[in-house]
Amino acid sequence: METAGGTTNREEIRQKLKTHFPGKIVRKDLTKKIKEGANVPVYVLEFLLGQYCSSDDEEIVKAGVENVKKILSANFVRPDEAQKVLSVLRQHGSHTVIDMITVSLNIKQDYYEASFSNLGLTGIPIADEYPEKYDRLLCGGIWCIVQLNYDAEGTENLDIILPSENSPQGNNRKQKNIYPISIRNLTPIQMPHVDMDELKRGRQAFTKEEWLDVMLRSTGMEPDSLTYREKWLLLTRMIPLVENNFNLCELGPRSTGKSHLYKEISPNSILVSGGQTTVANLFYNMASHQVGLVGLWDCVAFDEVAGIKFKDKDGIQIMKDYMASGSFARGKEEKAASASMVFVGNINQSVDVLLKTSSLFDPFPPEMGTDTAFLDRIHGYNPGWEIPKFRPEHFTDDYGFISDYLAGFMRELRKEQYGDALDAYFRLGKNLNQRDTIAVRKMVGGYIKLLHPDGRFSKDEVEEILQMALEMRRRVKEQLKKLGGMEFYDVNFSYIDNETFEEHYVSVPEQGGGKLIPEGLCNPGQVYTVSHGKNNMIGVFRLESQMLPGSGKFERTGIGSDRECKEAVNTAYNYLKANGRRISGSISTTAKDYIINYQDLQGIGMTHRLALPTLIAICSIALNKSVQSSLVALGEISISGTLMKVDELANTLQVCLDSGAKKVLLPITSAADLGTVPPELIGSFQLIFYSNPEDAVFKALGVE
């Protein structure tokens, strides 16, 4: 149920929109109703609705909708009915059509000619004023309402000699120059010009929350059915439309509207469906010397990333170059373009499974999904799994901007820069490298353009935006750390307040900072260790023990039939039998039975470095004494008690940190490898060294 406050707020927003943006708003439910029956782009539909239905009077709206339906059925050209439309045009001598028009200059004949996409006409002469006035006609074409004339009498004007008086050949030659169809008038269905001052003045009448709702309603979503965080995630999708050369990735479940914005709402973005493309199509065609999609559109979105394929071998390399610098080299010259890249696709497993077994970039094709250099160029990762699956109540029936106006001012906003807005209040922490900084600044700039296009914002508003931007970038970095190891260890993103010098850290919700190793004391017999699992990834393992009266039996569960694991566990028990007295006289291996359960917490396959943690676990339960809080035991021992050092110490410590460990038990043999570990990482723990297995047990249990 909607609260009374919610209703008045909606009414308030509606009134403000009518006052400040007359003629530029439309009721989105009307769009929805007609859209279901007519396959026209949303911005074409809303242009007509804005003209005929911008009223409060239900009767006028009703009549307007009927009018729009009539116009669409009479004038919108369906490709299969092209010949019928031409026949109507010939009968009546004139006809108005709605179609996608592209204009090119015929250099040999020195005149402009228009091509009609659905009507299938090409080479129709068009007056010079139109391409000069609407330059988009020359750059990929725009939807227009066009009045066409059909003049069969035009033959007289061209001094055509009739066949009876001359040979057929001469007539044929002349006939080629006749085109009875001419363009009388052309009106683009896209706003040719957007008054930015009006937008900025209008924005000042709204609060930030109201404006956020208006922006979402303009894309057809109903903000009242979304949480505050979901609104921000949907807003993130718009950043590529207001920011130049911004690369966004969004993977999530099906039917969460990932490609809707880029396909339906904005006439300035193109969706490459199916993912297959060529370098010539995307960047530059060497044969025709034409720039590809990145030069013609503001945003190029790839649908279904799993299927992205380049027919050329160097496609991904050129793409990497473009994503980093906004330019690419083809042939002898370097070309620059400003199109943003968006990668959307589906995740088939749950996020938890992906995080445990591979990375969040797993759905990408292998040549991209494992290439850290490519992934590092993605500026932000929008968590698509947090957005609800869309149902009818998620679509609005309230007022929002006409899609065309929305797309128009978004395009204008690309020319402005707000990336430095954070400098007045904050500075970024030292864990962000140059690429991270660029990415965060681009996102801060993008959010500000969307929420504060008038350039007025407070410190708190910038802080909220900055936190969001840092999270989006950190999500990319966390996955890079998984794939690339120590090269990307610095993921603890933070920002520093310029006034108070306080440092605030930003985490990523799905990473779950310290969930694996809990704070505070565990039960006796519970031990955590970190080492390489079966598939060679480093993960966290937990041992839980029980002691019963008995005859010295030792049971182990959770390790299956793995021979190496069993041997390691037996090594620990046999060592205890031989040397238990040295640890404590109260540990009995004859009058008690022990059960230990081994758990692989990250699903990477059981480790076989289990002798030392098993020894600590048995001693802990036998003495009824808990292991120190937030401790991880590293290292391994042989049957004679020889210490073995930790493999890949830096990466292992990084996993300890991510899992929430605060103390690390290390063999003294690993002390020599500390030089390979970044100092910040060493500083995150209390390191406790042990020189033999008994020493390890004492220190783990905190016994001096």
Q: How far is 566 from 559, CA to CA, in rounded Å?
A: 7
Least confidently predicted of 151-165, 434-448, 462-476, 578-592:
151-165
Q: What is the DSSP string of 249-261?
A: EEEE-SSS-TTHI
> 272 near 371, Cβ under 8 Å?
no
What is the DSSP secondary structure assignment for residue 422, as one 8-state letter?
Answer: G
Give the residue with greater pLDDT, 545 vs 362.
545
Give pLDDT, residue 8. Answer: 52
Shortest CA distance to 665 belongs to which of 704, 642, 695? 695
In degrees, rounded to 5, the angle at the alpha carbon of residue 319 between the alpha carbons of residues 317 and 320 is 65
Reported confidence tier of residue 174, pLDDT bands at 50, 70, 90: very low
CA distance 129 to 192: 14
Phi-psi region of 682 (alpha: psi -120 to 50; beta: other; left: phi over 0): alpha
Q: Given this model, what pLDDT does residue 515 score?
A: 59
How does the average pLDDT of the chain come out, rounded? 83
Closest CA to 581 of 505, 694, 468: 694
Per-residue pLDDT tens over the stretch 459-496: 999 999 999 999 999 988 888 887 776 677 777 888 99
| pLDDT score of 356 | 64
Cα 124 to Cα 97, 106, 137, 176, distances in angstroms: 14, 11, 14, 13
Between 317 and 33, whose confidence is greater? Answer: 317
Q: 3-class DSSP state for residue 476?
A: helix
Residues of the chain with pLDDT > 90, as a percent, come to 25
Who wins on pLDDT, 339 or 167?
339
Q: What single string gives the DSSP state of each residue in 123-191? A: -EEE-THHHHH-GGGTTT-EEEEEEEEE-TTHHHHTTPPPGGGS-HHHHHHHHTT---EEEEEEEESS-
pLDDT (average), residues 174-178: 45
One DSSP character per residue, 503-532 reads EEE---GGG-TTSSS-SS---TT-EEEEEE
On the question of pLDDT at 663 being above 90, the answer is yes
What pairs with residue 596 in β-bridges?
Answer: 545, 556
Over 70: is that where the pLDDT of 156 sits?
Answer: no
**What's phi and psi for 183, nearest 5 deg?**
-95, 115
The conformation of residue 553, written as its DSSP 8-state character, comes to -
Determine how many CB atoms are found less than 10 A away from the CB of residue 668: 14
How confident is the model at residue 704, as a pLDDT? 65
pLDDT digits (tens, 9 = 90+) for 88-120: 888 988 898 888 899 998 888 888 999 998 888
Which H or E run includes 373?
helix 372-375
Task: pLDDT band for 587, please (50, 70, 90 cuts).
Answer: confident
Residue 145's φ and ψ, nearest 5 degrees, are -100, 120
185-234 residue pLDDT tens = 888 876 656 778 888 889 999 999 999 999 999 888 889 999 999 999 99
DSSP letter, residue 19: H
Q: Residues 631-664, buried b or exposed e (16+ Cβ, 10 A)?
A: bbbbbbbeeebebebbebbbbbbbbbbbbbbbbb
The letter for the amino acid at 365 is P
Taking 3-state DSSP, the helix, strand and coil percentages for the chain, each rounded to the nearest 5, stand at 45, 20, 35
What gap in Å lies between CA 447 and CA 419, rounded to an integer?
Answer: 10
pLDDT confidence of residue 411:
86
- Helix (H/G/I), strand (E/B), else coil: 272: strand
CB 369 within 8 A of CB 361: yes
Residues in the chain: 704
Q: What confidence tier does 275 reach under pLDDT thresholds 50, 70, 90? A: low
User: Using one digit for the tens of pLDDT, what is the confidence trace for 607-658?
Assistant: 989 999 999 999 999 999 999 988 999 999 998 889 998 988 988 888 888 7
User: What is the distance between the alpha carbons of residues 479 and 482, in angstroms, rounded to a whole number?
Assistant: 5
pLDDT category at 162 given cuts 50, 70, 90 is very low
Compute the distance between CA of residue 522 and CA of residue 539 in angstroms, rounded to an integer: 19
**pLDDT exceeds 50 at position 689:** yes
Beta strands in 550-684 (DSSP E): 554-557, 592-600, 631-633, 636-637, 643-644, 663-667
Q: Report the pLDDT value the prediction gives residue 178, as an integer from 0 to 100.
A: 57
| pLDDT in the model for residue 144 | 87
pLDDT exceeds 60 at position 5: no
Backbone conformation region of residue 632, classed left if phi is above 0, alpha if psi is from -120 to 50, else beta:
beta
List 381's β-bridge partners, or say none: 249
Give dist(CA 136, CA 124) in Å, integer: 18
In the chain, how many H helices and how many E strands? 27, 30
Report pLDDT for 79: 81
Residue 448 near residue 424 (C-beta atoms within 8 A): no
What confidence score (pLDDT) does residue 159 get?
36
In this model, does residue 507 exceed pLDDT 80?
Answer: yes
Residue type, 651: N
**Mean pLDDT, range 561-566, rounded to an integer:** 88
pLDDT of 166 above 60: no
Highest averaged pLDDT of the listed ranges 90-104, 286-300, 342-356: 90-104
Asked if the model's pLDDT at residue 164 lies above 50, the reply is no
Over 50: is that where the pLDDT of 175 sits? no
Per-residue confidence (pLDDT) for residue 380, from 0 to 100: 93
pLDDT tops 70 at residue 586: yes
pLDDT of residue 153: 62
Rg of the chain on CA atoms, in Å: 34
Task: Work out the pLDDT band at 393, boundaries 50, 70, 90.
Answer: confident
CA nearest 318: which of 345, 292, 287, 344? 292
For residue range 6-61, list pLDDT tens digits in order: 445 888 888 888 888 877 788 887 777 776 666 677 777 877 777 777 666 778 77
